[in-house]
Amino acid sequence: MGYSDSHAAIVILNWNGLHFLEQFLPSVVTNSSGCEVIVADNASTDGSIAYLQANFPQVRIIQHISNLGFCEGYNMALAQVQAKYYVLLNSDVHVPANWTIPILELMESDESIAVCQPKILDQKHPGLFEYAGAGGGFLDALGYPYCRGRLFESIEEDLGQYNDVQEIFWATGACMFVRATAYHALGGLEPAFFAHMEEIDFCWRAKNAGYKVMYNGHSQVYHVGGGTLHKSNPRKTYLNFRNGLALLYKNLPAHELISTVLIRVLLDWVAALRMVVAGQTKDAQAVLEAHADLLRNNGYWRKRRKEQKQKGKFPDLRGVFKGSIVWEYFVKQKRKVQAL
């Protein structure tokens, strides 16, 4: 199936990622036939723009005047892109030939599909799944995210076990295909998240609006991961814990909200205590700062909750594991999704 330039636009958000553009943009330009390639730049100071202008005149550049973060960076960029499908692609992703075709064909076959992701493998270790997305994203009953191919720090080898097409709960923002009409109807990514878990929030809102979120393992890409914020960075800890609770506050039905959030707060404190014992005091402090930030900005989050729909019972949504992955992983020592 062929696609015109206006059919799919691959949009790479860049912030001082010249080294990634040099390494990975050639594969995107060469292997994405029929798609427009766009770099949206968050006011980089490392020569990224000059490099693009000199080496990739066919790539459209959208320049932001400041670092808007992942969420608003994409919202502002995609407001300027005319296409049927957007492909949100991290700058540290290698793509093989014809990688877009299986996913675009799937989305063309079913208009209820708002979001889809390919298989995400580790660029440095191609036989392993990559942390951010792996074989498709899910949530447990307490709202903890996990992926087929990745439970906490346990990463599976790719043996073809997820070479399927399946409805999931969330697709990774590292490589996320989105129907443009759905993106704008849902209001794009949550700007206050800045970065991290914004794709889960978006997919949850899509599900509440009646859309499907899909995984297509017949396409695969190779992701470096941690390109902007390494997992050891306390800023990443802060964003993950703050956004993890905000995600629940925005999207959980009223009858499940208080009990679920209280349990998550207690588990956050347990996590912070473990960080202190491990000598990660800055990370533990980041957890407390995340909670304080939510309390300070409670008015904003209440407003955002009222603006969107919370639908039915959360555990009944497709892609939700009705148990606790914390219990399954840390107590029962289960290391693979198939064992849940």
Q: Where are the domains of the chain?
A: 8-223, 234-339
**Which homologous superfamily does the CATH classification assign to the domain defined by 8-223?**
Spore Coat Polysaccharide Biosynthesis Protein SpsA; Chain A (3.90.550.10)
CA atoms within 13 A on the CB side of 258: 2
**Model pTM score:** 0.94
Q: Which regions of the chain are under pLDDT 50?
A: 1-5, 227
Q: What is the dihedral of CA 218, 152, 251, 15, to 10 degrees?
A: -70
The CA–CA distances, whole Å, from 136 to 120, 145, 171, 247, 282 equal 8, 10, 6, 18, 31
pLDDT of residue 109: 97
φ, ψ for residue 22, nearest 5 deg: -65, -35
pLDDT of residue 231: 59
pLDDT of residue 6: 52
In 10 A of CB 291, how many CB atoms? 16
Give, as one character, the DSSP assignment of residue 248: H
